[in-house]
Amino acid sequence: MNLLRSALHGSVLLVAPLLVSLAVSAAQTPTHSAPAPAKQNGTAAPKSYPPALVESGGSLFRQDCSFCHGRDAGGGESGPDLTRSKLVTEDVDGDKIGAVVRNGRPDKGMPHFDFSERQILGLTAFIHSQQNTAITKKGGRKGVDVSDLQTGNAEAGKQYFDGAGGCATCHSPTGDLAGIASRYQGLELEEQMLYPKHAKSRVTVTLAAGQTITGTLDYLDEFTVGLIDPTGSYRSWRTSDVQYKVDAPVTAHADLLSKYTDADIHNLMAYLQTLR
Ligand code: HEC
Ligand code: HEC
C-alpha cells in the first residue's frame, strides 16, 4: 500500500495519464454500441458490452483505479497502460482482469479489491471498451509525438488562446504564463498544459453530524483524508467516518483541453513555445 500512499500524498489526486488521455478521450465520444474493432492478435473475440455496464464500470474505475492507471486506463505514473496490456487483450469477461483485481500484485504495487461479480464485470467492460477505442484511434496511435509539437502555427495558436479556446479567460501570456516555455520544454510543456501538476485540489468533507469543511486537499488514501482548512490548520478524518468529495482542477483542465482538436493543440503548443 505504500505506493498508493505515495502516489496520492501531497500533490494532486490524479497522476497524469497525460498525452495518452488526450488522444483517447478525444476519440471517446462514440460508440459503445458500434461494432468493436478486431483485436490485435486475434485472441479473445472483440465484444461490445451494454453501455450502462460500461458506464458503471467507468465510474468505479475512475474512483478506484484511475489514479494509478489513468482516467482512461491509458496508464499513469504508477500503473501500466491497460489498453496495451496483453492480459487485457486475452481476458474474456473478466476471467483474467478479475483475478488481478481480487488478488492484487502486492509486491508490484497493485493493491487488491474486494469487488462483487457485477463490479468486476463493469470494470472489465470499461477496460475492454477503452482498449477498443484506443486501438481504433488512428491505427492505434496514441499520444502526441515530440515531432508533432513542431508542426503547429503560433499565430493560429494565439488567436485560439485569445478567442475560441477561452484560455485568456484564466491565463495571460504576460502574467501567469510569462516565460512558461523557459520553465518547461517540449512534451513537458504539453503535459503541464494538459495536466497542470501543481494545481491544488479542493476537498469538501461532510461529517456524520452533517457539518461540512472545505479546504485544500493535503492527504488522501483509503483510510485517511486530510486537508488544510481556511485558517491554515491541518485536519484529518478516517475515510470510514466521513463523506468527502475531491474537486481536482487538473481534471477540469484536461476535460477542457480534450475538447480541442489535435490541430488546436499543436497550434497552442507552437504559441506557448514563443512565451520565453
Ligand atoms: C496503487 C496503484 C494501483 C491501483 C489503485 C490499481 N492498480 Fe492495477 N496495477 C498497478 C500496477 C503497478 C500494476 C502492474 C503490476 C505488475 O507489474 O505486475 C497493475 C496491474 C494491473 C493489471 C494487469 C495488467 C497486466 O498487463 O498485467 C490490471 C488488469 C489492473 N492493474 C487493473 C486494475 C483495476 C481494475 C484497478 C481498480 C479496481 C486497479 N488496477 C487499481 C497499480 C495499481
Ligand atoms: C477555467 C480556467 C482555465 C482555463 C479556461 C484554462 N486554464 Fe490553464 N490552468 C488553469 C489552472 C487553475 C491551472 C493551474 C495553475 C497553477 O498550477 O498554478 C492551469 C494551468 C495551465 C498551464 C500550466 C501553467 C504552469 O505554470 O505550470 C498551462 C500551460 C495552461 N494552463 C494552459 C492553458 C491553455 C492553453 C488553455 C486554453 C486551451 C487553458 N489553460 C485554459 C485554469 C484554466
Predicted pLDDT of residue 109: 83
Report, as an integer, the average pLDDT of 221-249.
Answer: 87
CA-CA distance, 134 to 109, in Å (whole number)?
A: 25
* pLDDT interval class at 75 (50, 70, 90): confident
Measured in Å, residue 254 CA sits from the centre of ligand 2 at 10
The residue that leads in pLDDT, 85 or 20, is 85
CATH number of 202-247: 2.30.30
CATH topology assigned to domain 2-140: Cytochrome Bc1 Complex; Chain D, domain 2 (1.10.760)
Q: What percentage of residues in the chain have a pLDDT greater than 70?
A: 72
Report the pLDDT value the prediction gives residue 42, as an integer from 0 to 100.
38
End-to-end CA distance of the chain: 41
Check whether 255 has a pLDDT greater than 70: no
The answer to whether residue 221 scores a pLDDT higher than 70 is: yes
Q: What is the arithmetic mean of pLDDT over 162-174?
A: 88
> Between β-strands 212-220 and 202-206, what pairing exists: parallel, antiparallel or unpaired?
antiparallel
Q: Which residue has the higher pLDDT, 31 or 104?
A: 104
Mutation test of ligand 1: which of 68, 72, 83 has the most ligand atoms closer than 8 Å to its C-beta? Answer: 68
Cell readout for 191 is: 503535459
Confidence of residue 62 (pLDDT cuts 50, 70, 90): confident
Nearest to 38 by CA among 125, 110, 140: 140
By DSSP bridging, strand 243-247 and strand 212-220 are unpaired
251 pLDDT band, cuts 50/70/90, is low
For the chain, give every residue range classified as CATH 1.10.760.10. 2-140
Measured in Å, residue 85 CA sits from the centre of ligand 1 at: 10
Pocket test for ligand 1, best of 69, 102, 120, 223 (most atoms within 8 A of CB): 69
| Residue bearing the bigger pLDDT, 141 or 187 | 187
pLDDT of residue 63: 86
Give residue 35's pLDDT. Answer: 39
Give the number of the ligand closest to the Cα of residue 181.
2
pLDDT(4) > 60: no
Tell me how far the alpha carbon of residue 267 lies from the centroid of ligand 1, in angstroms.
35
Q: Which of 43, 35, 50 minimizes the C-alpha distance to 124?
A: 50
Pocket of ligand 1 from Cβ distances under 6 Å: 3-4, 7, 64-65, 68-69, 78-80, 82, 85, 87-88, 97, 100-101, 105, 108-111, 113, 123
pLDDT score of 3 more than 70: no
Residue 225 has pLDDT above 80, yes or no: yes
Instruction: Work out the average pLDDT over 196-216.
Output: 86
Query: How far is the C-alpha of 157 from the C-alpha of 167, rounded, in Å?
Result: 11
**For ligand 2, atom 18, which residue shows the shortest CA distance?**
199
pLDDT given at position 254: 63
Q: Which of 137-146, 183-192, 263-272 has the highest mean pLDDT?
A: 263-272
* Sequence ranges of the chain with CATH classification 2.30.30: 202-247
CB 82 within 8 A of CB 131: yes
Question: Taking residues 88-108, what's their average pLDDT?
Answer: 90
Q: Is the pLDDT of residue 250 over 90?
A: no
Per residue in 130-140, pLDDT (tens digit) is 888 776 654 43
Nearest CA residue ID for atom 26, ligand 1: 85
Ligand 1, residues 110, 115, 116, 126: which to mutate, most atoms within 8 A of Cβ? 110
Query: Predicted confidence band at 26 (pLDDT cuts at 50, 70, 90)?
Result: very low
Amino acid at 211: Q
Q: In angstroms, rounded to a whole number, what is the distance separating the alpha carbons of residues 225 and 205?
A: 8
Report how far ligand 2's centroid is from the alpha carbon of 55 (Å): 29
Whether the CB-CB separation of 154 and 273 falls below 8 Å is answered with yes
Ligand 1 centroid – CA 69 distance (Å): 7
Q: Is the pLDDT of residue 104 over 60?
A: yes
Cα–Cα distances in Å, from 176 out to 117, 170, 180, 181, 275?
49, 9, 8, 12, 11
Please say if the pLDDT value at position 197 is more than 70: no
Q: Is the pLDDT of residue 105 over 70?
A: yes
How high does pLDDT run on average in the chain? 76
Contacts of 206 (CB under 8 A, 6+ apart): 212, 242, 243, 244
pLDDT at 15 over 70: no
